[in-house]
Amino acid sequence: MIQYGELVRQGIDIALAEHQQQGGRAIELVTVDDGGSAGRAGAAVDELERAGVIAVIGPLLPEALASAAAARDDERLALLSPTAPDRPNAPHTYALNTEDVRGARALAEYTVQQGRRRVGVLYPRTADFRELAQAFGEALRTAGGEVTADVGYDPATTTFARPIEQLLGSGVDAVYAPAPERIIRQLAPQFEYYGLGGVPLMGSDAWTSDEVLRSVSPRVLEGTVATTALPRGSSEVAWDRFVGLYEAAHRRTLDTPYPALGYDATALVLGALADGDSPGPADIARGLAGTTAFRGATGVLSLEDGTVTRKPFLVRIQSGRLVPLPEGGS
């Protein structure tokens, strides 16, 4: 099995090759292996600083990213982790694989626009999904709606009779149900089974995944409105172009997001290169901080207050396909 680091490196190499083909300045890639260890990450970033690098793609794990950020002599040396799932609390330190609450807010506003003001929220009790539920609820109330039932459940739950009964008892006219793919495959058919099938359903981006669309009956998913940062096939994102570059380079189907995350992290750094003869860490840090609406392979990215965000797109599931909703929803 190809390791995450190798998959990310494939995307990095594609971004650098594309940069050179487009006539960009010469770039030297310096590689140091931290072995996935937080303890070695500090020594690795020290080695890179001594080599004179102007930005770092990595580390891949959140603990290693935090360690590397703390070990920098110059906190302006930007660190971009393609895969870390947690938002780092350090200057000029970014993670591209974090959960983004902007989609939850957009769904809440859409729900109220559709006249659905009494909404139940159903989510696994983990930090990331609790954050999505909270963001949805806040935006819903701001838009004039009401969370009639806030129902969290153990992530190991497989039978959802009791949580669904709580939603039904609160008189909901819509339900927001952020969840990972594993839970969605079990949860989705139970809405109808336990009497909630006629209530409009709002979902997080996992509801739009190929795995969910393939494994869950289209009848069960029909009409679900969900948010996605990556509307594949849309000209607003560079996914299709990256897939073409990847498959031409590796002669195989792209079936993992990690190369695209590595590509975007590298492309963000390349886009922040200053026009001067010798850009340094401060130039890259400044350029990254001003990044907005970057058309990446994994979405439309902006770097705001040290956080990587992606523009949310709303879609409706119809006949097993994702149908984009127009801006503002309808």
Model confidence over 95-151: pLDDT tens digits?
999 889 999 999 999 999 999 999 999 999 999 999 999 999 999 999 999 999 999
Buried b (16+ CB within 10 A) or exposed e, 120-152: bbbbbeeebbebbbbbbbebbeeeebebbbbbe
Q: Same structural domain for residues 218 and 110?
A: yes
CATH of the domain at 293: 3.40.50.2300
Q: Same structural domain for residues 73 and 58?
A: yes
Q: Considering the domain boundaries, does residue 327 fall inside one?
A: no
Q: Same structural domain for residues 24 and 71?
A: yes
Q: Considering the domain boundaries, does residue 68 fall inside one?
A: yes
What is the residue-averaged pLDDT of the chain? Answer: 93
**Is pLDDT at 320 greater than 70 in this prediction?**
yes
Beta carbons of 207 and 317 less than 8 angstroms apart: yes
Q: Considering the domain boundaries, does residue 124 fall inside one?
A: yes
Q: How many domains does the chain have?
A: 2
Q: Same structural domain for residues 106 and 95?
A: no
Instruction: Identify which has the larger pLDDT, 181 or 37.
Output: 181
Beta carbons of 187 and 178 less than 8 angstroms apart: no
Tokens of 91: 């200057």
Domain boundary among 228, 263, 296: 228
Q: Same structural domain for residues 213 and 257?
A: no
Q: Same structural domain for residues 107 and 223?
A: yes
Q: Same structural domain for residues 92 and 49?
A: yes
Q: Same structural domain for residues 149 and 216?
A: yes
Q: Considering the domain boundaries, does residue 319 fall inside one?
A: no
Tokens of 80: 């971009």
Whole domain around residue 36: which residue ranges?
4-99+236-309
Q: Considering the domain boundaries, does residue 324 fall inside one?
A: no
Model confidence over 240-293: pLDDT tens digits?
999 999 999 999 999 899 999 999 999 999 999 866 667 899 999 999 998 999
Beta carbons of 174 and 146 less than 8 angstroms apart: no
Q: Same structural domain for residues 95 and 243?
A: yes
Q: Considering the domain boundaries, does residue 322 fall inside one?
A: no
